[in-house]
Structure 1
Amino acid sequence: MKRSGSQTIQLDQFLKYVGAVATGGEAKRLIQDGLVEVNGEREVRRRRKLASGDVVTCADSNYEVSWPEGPEPADP
């Protein structure tokens, strides 16, 4: 069985998770100032939902959104 691919994370949370920013306030400022891109386009919505495969650019660094592969469920 494969994952549904419906996992998402908010842009501001993702920036904190990857260590691009230290705080949510810092993420908010960078996003509102237009210093963050998602898939090559400037993004100003801090709660933008990111999915696997999205590429976030912040401070000249690129981060690709991906989810770890979990174990496959056992057959009954």
Structure 2
Amino acid sequence: MTGRVLPIDPTEDGRPYASAWLRRNAATEEAIFTAIYSMQHRANHSFMNIALPLLRDNDRYIAASERQHRRIHPI
């Protein structure tokens, strides 16, 4: 299995400091797991927000996250 953590543009996600965790089958490149993580702070407490897309949306979200990562960090 391979994994990458990519930053998410807050104007696209709506939450500051959001990141996507993308995990794939190393042999087939099939999406295994995708989640978006972000932090939230309120009244001396910190919270972690985790968003899990529906299974049928994993490939579309992974492709969008990787395109955004290439715009931010060109090869």
TM-score, normalising length: structure 2: 0.25
More strand by share: 2
TM-score, normalising length: structure 1: 0.25
**Which protein is bigger by CA-based radius of gyration?**
1
More helix by share: 2
